[in-house]
Amino acid sequence: MLDRLNNIEAEARSELQSVEDEAALQSWKVKHLGRSAALGSILDGLRELAKEERPAVGRRANEVKTALEGAYEARLGALRARALDRSLREERLDVSLPGRPVARGRLHPATQMLRRVIAIWAEMGFQVYRSRDVETDEYNFELLNMPPYHPARDQWDTFFTTQPGVILRTHTSPGQIHIMRERAPQPIRVVLPGMCYRYEQQDASHEIQFNQVEGLAVGERITFADLKGTLTSFARRLFSQTVRTRFRAGHFPFTEPSAEMDIECFVCSGAGCKVCKNTGWLEVLGSGMVHPTVLANGGYDPERFSGFAFGMGPERLTMLKHQIEHIRSFWANDLRFLEQF
């Protein structure tokens, strides 16, 4: 049996010298190292040998197997090195051929709208102020005139954390308190962009996270007329110089009085269509005069100072402007959708 193992090794090594490519090498491996190879049969049949023969035969069979596996790896490395050398010597790159253009990326449509909105407010003299995404209940609700158990809290489906009193902000309005406490009693004119989070049922127009741009102006003798004029000017810069606007009474706990601003539907010019739900108007933002309690919480004397605030969603503005039917399109990362912008 030992002589047979020696012959198997010699025959395998002899055949290996004539192997010239990887396909032939794989065939060699199957023939000499596979389960059906002669060496494999000897290893499988060790239990049938006499007890005194078994140790020597088993030891020699494993030595042959190890040697052939090493020879296989060496030959494989040599063949691959030879193939690489041949490729480098024989293959040539024709540098005169025209290159293939690299597909260029672009800004996400929501980011495009966000930057456009911020740029317009910057042109109108508003500074950008960033506030944190993780807030306290105090800043997100209480200081905005919504004490515990206030019914208005039900309008904001909140993500709570494991830390008591710490939440993901439901709107960018907590930034109003931060900026007022930093700058009181100086006048303020800022916009506060950022991501908001709400534990809502997802549908065509609602998502659990979305961008929002909050605006705040605080000073002496600011009136509702200033609010209307400022927002109308913004709408004309964003949509068109001829766009018509209207204000409807609304309600927000942190503003009084409050108003919703609509623009005339730019698809049907007010005649009524499916985009405006046959009303002729599109809702674009909410606004109002800063509530005296919020001013006081921010460090301003409501008897001396007044202000206005507003909030809008860049995704909603993008949906209106480009007639996008589903808000989830912004988060699906579908290139067929993104490449349109």
Q: Is residue 98 part of a domain?
A: no
With bands split at pLDDT 50, 70 and 90, how would you rate the model's confidence at 1?
A: low
pLDDT of residue 205: 67
Whole-structure pTM value: 0.66
User: Do 137 and 86 belong together in one domain?
Assistant: no
User: Do 118 and 41 belong together in one domain?
Assistant: no
The pLDDT tens digits for 212-270 are 999 999 999 999 999 999 999 999 999 889 889 999 999 999 999 999 999 988 778 77
The pLDDT tens digits for 292-341 are 999 999 999 999 999 999 999 888 888 888 878 788 888 888 888 888 88
User: Do 25 and 169 belong together in one domain?
Assistant: no
Q: Could you tell me the two tokens for 310?
A: 């507003």
pLDDT above 80: residue 83: yes
Round the average pLDDT of the chain to a whole number and report it.
Answer: 86
User: Do 17 and 67 belong together in one domain?
Assistant: yes
The proportion of the chain whose per-residue pLDDT surpasses 90, expressed as a percent, equals 41
User: Do 299 and 214 belong together in one domain?
Assistant: yes
Q: Is residue 194 part of a domain?
A: yes
Q: Determine which of 39-48, 59-68, 107-116, 145-154 has the lowest per-residue pLDDT on average.
A: 39-48
Exposed / middle / buried, residue 203 (Cβ in 10 Å: 0-12, 13-18, 19+) = exposed
Higher pLDDT, 292 or 9: 292
pLDDT of residue 218: 97
Q: Could you tell me the two tokens for 102?
A: 């690299």
Higher pLDDT, 37 or 147: 147
The pLDDT tens digits for 29-73 are 887 777 777 776 766 666 777 777 777 767 777 787 888 888 888
Q: Could you tell me the two tokens for 57?
A: 């035969």
The proportion of the chain whose per-residue pLDDT surpasses 70, expressed as a percent, equals 96
Q: Which residues are within 8 A (CB) of 78 and not within 5 positions of it... i.e. 6 or more apart?
A: none
pLDDT above 80: residue 145: yes
The pLDDT tens digits for 155-190 are 778 899 999 999 999 999 999 999 999 999 999 999
User: Do 85 and 130 belong together in one domain?
Assistant: no
Q: Is residue 308 part of a domain?
A: yes
Task: Strands of the chain (E only): list them.
Answer: 127-128, 134-136, 166-168, 188-197, 209-219, 245-252, 255-264, 281-290, 306-312
Q: Is residue 95 part of a domain?
A: no
pLDDT of residue 140: 92
Number of domains into which the chain is organized:
2
Q: Is residue 104 part of a domain?
A: no
Range of the structural domain that residue 284 is part of = 109-338
User: Do 149 and 13 belong together in one domain?
Assistant: no
pLDDT of residue 326: 80
